[in-house]
Structure 1
Amino acid sequence: MAASGKLGTFRLPPLPTIREIIKLFGLRAMKQLSQNFLLDLRLTDKIVRKAGSLADAYVYEVGPGPGGITRSILNADIAELLVVEKDTRFIPGLQQMLSDAAPGKLRIVHGDVLTYKIEKAFPDRVRRQWEDDPPNVHIIGNLPFSVSTPLIIKWLENVSLKDGPFVYGRTKMTLTFQKEVAERLVATTGSKQRSRLSIMAQHLCNVKHLFTIPGKAFVPKPEVDVGVVHFTPLIEPKIKQPFKLVEKVVQNVFQFRRKYCHRGLGMLFPEAQRLESTGRLLQLADIDPTLRPTHLSLMHFQSLCAVYRKMCDEDPQLFAYNFREELKQKKRKGSEKNDTESYEF
């Protein structure tokens, strides 16, 4: 180590480059796992910088891979970095980084981010009340495309329940997505990209598309560009209903995104009562049935969910209804009828 200054301050040796890590451990991205490495330190530094001040922060990095963003986080004067990596091939390289990083800064867990329990990973002293400013806890990750959507839906549900990574308060997230997914997450009312993700994310979080990384910056080069998106949970959700209820209404509306909104909303109700119940829902929610799904605002969805909640309270079996199951049963009965007829003489 080289000393500097009169007091003999020591500098740690530079971390090995990500290319050196990849070469040393013979790593390569696996297409079937939708893995893409980001090797440009300027871009990984930019992701970390855009996440906000990380001074003395506790950071949870998901899917670190060979450690591109990991390295930039470690250079950000953090308190501790916890990385969770499912692919065992990357663990030795991360451990190499651990040996070269400041002692006590990096903690490596071999696990799956979809199931990993982070509730007790960080000290209780970092917790904040939900109404307070966000805690000094951050989630950062360059997510494999295959898990990015189910993971953000899982975390949005955690936001609504104030559990998982959000037991610490309104934990901020800075994550990568396919550019198309990033555009859906921030799409405004009337936009072509407006989707289920738009509503589910924006009613719970302040969502910002920070910048776009060209696909050529990744190894191997994906067929799409990548968007970096920042989430800050809201103190009060825009739709004040249980997550699963909101999700069901939104999913049904957007499954027929090119049709009028009444088409998808009708699928919330059994066929025998569909026409009457859909009309009642739209009337009580004061929604024009000829609006397209992309033109429904958060306030529209708030009204729809509130009325649907009352209808479910009146009919306890309604929320469990799934039109796809009804369709399967009809097909099954039709098949059984055909089988019976084929044996008649």
Structure 2
Amino acid sequence: MEKDPPAAVSLPPLRDVIARHGLSANKAFGQNFLFDLNLTGRIARSAAPLDEGSVIEIGPGPGGLTRALLDHGGKDVIVIERDRRFLPVLAEISAAYPDRLTVIEGDALKVDAAKLGRAPRRIVANLPYNVATPLLLNWLAAGAAFASLTLMFQKEVADRLIAQPRSKDYGRLTIATQWRAEVRRLFDVPPRAFTPPPKVTSTVVQLIPRATPLFPADASMLERVAAAAFGQRRKMLRQSLRKVSPRAEEALIAAGIAPTARGEELSIEQFCALSRAFEAL
């Protein structure tokens, strides 16, 4: 039987809290506030169950999504915030939800989220756009340390995460992500939902990290091969992969791939086979 979430705690509206503390979004930190309770609640529900293990949020700002995570069952919510202006606001939320919210002041790029809290760990975040990709790649490198990642990206980044071969969005990020995780698009969020509104549409994506990568390959070699293959998309692989080795054509033939193929034509399985072929040269 599905458990009912704890009763929501009464807190002042976010707009009132921001006004009282004299807060505004900082472009340098890629901040855009999400006030829509329907949307924050939808994100929290998408990441359920939240009452098992720890829920980790990056860049909570004034705590709109943080409140939703707590209201929808989060018993051990950990937030990482580098902007000190928001610490007093987050302290107020922590006081309203005793023993359920931990606030860490710091840069998420320098915090090993895989060691925070307890398993199963779920990351749920409206990511700052300027660090979204490196954060994602760091978390995926941790393998199955996380049960799920429910994240908001710029739509164009989300399109790259879920892309298929022979599409314009298929590239290095696609390979790195789908090799390590199952990915699905959940829903789009329009610019008007944020304050201030960004110039782009956002998309919420859920990733389920794989216990082991999809196919055998060395991670660093796979990245080198993908980077070379998509560095100049229209070049044939026998040319573009010379950046990896002057024996690129030999590796292609060994992997059963036509030297005249282009990167966007290869499946992830073929990229992994090609990486192994380079390793064997």
Q: TM-score range by the shorter chain?
A: over 0.9
Q: Which has the larger radius of gyration?
A: 1
Q: 1:156 aligns with which of 137, 140, 144?
A: 140
SS in 2 for 1:146: helix
Please report the TM-score for the alignment, with normalisation by the length of structure 2: 0.93
Q: How does 1:288-307 map to 2 (within 5 A)?
A: 288-307=258-277
In the TM superposition, residue 205 of structure 1 has moved relative to its aligned partner by 0.3
Once residues 227 and 11 of structure 1 are traced to their aligned partners in structure 2, the CA distance between those partners, rounded to angstroms, is 28
1:241 Cα offset (Å)? 2.0
How far 1:119 sits from its partner (Å)?
Answer: 4.4
Task: Tell me which residue corresponds to 2:243.
Answer: 267
- 2:198 is aligned with 1:222: yes
- Change in Cα spacing, 1:12 to 1:189, as seen in structure 2 (3 Å) is closer
**C-alpha deviations, 1:213-255, integer Å up to 9, x for none?**
0111111111100011111012331231232121111111111
Across the aligned residues of Structure 1 and Structure 2, the Cα RMSD in angstroms comes to 1.7
CA distances 1:191-229 after superposition (whole Å, capped 9, x unpaired): 111011111000110011111101111111111000111
Matches within 5 A, 1:193-272: 193-269=169-245
Alpha-carbon distance, 1:118 to partner: 3.4
Shift of 1:83: 0.4
Partners of 1:83 and 1:155 lie apart in 2 by: 15
> Shift in Å at residue 13 of structure 1?
4.5
Q: Deviations over 1:162-181 (max 9, x none)?
A: 6xxx1xxx421011111000
Specify whether residues 40 and 191 from structure 1 end up closer, same or farther in structure 2 by C-alpha distance, changes over 3 A only: same
Tell me the number of residue pairs that the alignment of Structure 1 and Structure 2 aligns: 276
Would the aligned equivalents of 1:16 and 1:97 in 2 still touch at CA under 8 Å? no
Give ranges in structure 1 of 5+ residues lacking alignment.
1-9, 127-134, 312-345
Amino acid at match of 1:300: Q
- Counting aligned pairs with the same residue, the percent is 37
Q: State the alpha-carbon separation in 2 of the partners of residues 71 and 51 from structure 1.
A: 14
Asked if structure 1 preserves the Cα contact closer than 8 Å seen for 2:57 and 2:125, the reply is yes
Query: Hey, what does 1:83 align to over in structure 2?
Result: 79
Match of 2:254 in 1: 284
CA distance in 1, matches of 2:135, 2:8: 35
Shift of 1:292: 2.1
Partner of 2:3: none
Cα–Cα, structure 1 residues 201 and 71, in superposed 2: closer, same or farther, change >3 Å?
same
- Work out whether 1:121 is the aligned partner of 2:116: yes
Q: TM-score, normalised by structure 1?
A: 0.76
Task: Tell me: higher relative CO, structure 1 or 2? Use CA pairs within 8 A at least 6 residues apart.
Answer: 2
Give the Cα–Cα distance (whole angstroms) in 2 for the partners of residues 121 and 96 of structure 1. Answer: 22
**Cα distance in structure 2, aligned partners of 1:15 and 1:69:** 13
The answer on whether the counterparts of 2:33 and 2:194 sit within 8 Å (CA) in structure 1 is yes
* Distance change >3 Å, CA 13–CA 70, structure 1 → 2: closer
